[in-house]
């Protein structure tokens, strides 16, 4: 079974440019997460989806970040415009969403460098 | 808010046991997790423990939970070079959906 797929794996852009990341979760996983992982830190949740509904976007900087999961399957995270401080690894994860210890499966991440 | 802290680095010799420690602040934590992250990869769940348990063993991994002191540890027996990675402690608590809060990670270096 395929794991969580993310693309691109690496992205280098200049500040003020837009950038988008794509995630395809594990088939059948209703819950999808976007995390940001700064160097030397643990992942921090940006947004969580239950099917197509964003149920927790409290940590998403809404002035420049947006996300969508239109059909409740794959998802896109966008930054416009990017700032130097956005350089990080953006991780996507998915889970069945059954509650309890709901195991999250992570993709390999997209490493963003903003110059 | 929740806070999860770990030491940054641990170095052990191949074949020895590794013990990675973690402290957390949220007394209502329900599940405590250990994730492993290899270079260039996402996080992989190794094991988790429910808060009403003191210990959980899974092959070479032993998790110990001291709920009174809010201290969690991961022991890796017979540490191998393939165990070299960053290990993240994480917690989630009940009440609505279980948002997971991750620690800063401990980099384990295994010396051959």
User: Between A48, A55, A108, which is nearest B41 by CB?
Assistant: A108
* A93 touching chain B per CB within 8 A: yes
Phi-psi region at B87: left, alpha or beta (left = phi > 0; alpha = psi -120 to 50): beta
> Are the Cβ atoms of A42 and B100 closer than 8 angstroms?
no
Average pLDDT over residues B20-46: 91
Question: Alpha-carbon distance B79 to A53, whole Å?
Answer: 43
| Bridge partners, residue A54, by sequence | A49
pLDDT over 70 at A43, yes or no = yes
A32 and B CB contact within 8 Å: no
Reply yes or no on whether the pLDDT at A2 is more than 90: no
What pLDDT does A70 receive? 84
Per-residue confidence (pLDDT) for residue B47, from 0 to 100: 94
Q: Which residues of A touch B44 (CB under 8 A)?
A: 106
Per-residue pLDDT tens for B87-102?
Answer: 999 998 765 566 889 9
The string of pLDDT tens digits covering residues A48-106 is: 999 999 989 999 999 999 999 988 899 999 999 999 999 999 999 999 877 667 788 99
Contact between B42 and A42 using a beta-carbon 8 Å cutoff: no
pLDDT confidence of residue B96: 55
Distance from CA of B1 to the nearest CA of A (A): 13
């Amino acid at each position: 079974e395929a794991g969580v797929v993310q693309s691109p794996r690496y992205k280098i852009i200049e500040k003020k440019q837009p950038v988008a990341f794509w995630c395809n979760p594990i088939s059948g996983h209703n819950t999808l997460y976007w995390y940001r992982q700064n160097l030397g830190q643990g992942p921090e949740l940006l947004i969580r989806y239950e099917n197509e509904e964003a149920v927790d976007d409290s940590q998403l900087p809404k002035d420049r970040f947006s996300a969508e999961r239109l059909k409740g399957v794959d998802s896109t995270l966008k930054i416009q415009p990017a700032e130097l401080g956005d350089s990080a690894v953006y991780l996507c994860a998915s889970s069945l969403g059954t509650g309890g210890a709901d195991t999250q499966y992570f993709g390999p991440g997209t490493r963003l460098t903003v110059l | 808010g929740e806070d999860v802290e770990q030491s940054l680095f641990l170095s052990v010799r191949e074949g020895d046991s590794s013990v990675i420690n973690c402290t957390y602040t949220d007394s209502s934590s329900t599940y405590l997790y250990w994730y492993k992250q290899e270079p260039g990869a996402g996080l992989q769940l190794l094991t988790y423990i429910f808060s009403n348990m003191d210990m959980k063993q899974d092959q070479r991994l032993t998790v110990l939970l001291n709920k009174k002191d809010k201290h969690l540890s991961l022991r890796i027996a017979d540490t191998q070079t393939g165990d070299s990675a960053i290990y993240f402690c994480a917690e989630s608590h009940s009440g609505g959906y279980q948002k997971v809060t991750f620690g800063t990670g401990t980099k384990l270096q295994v010396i051959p």
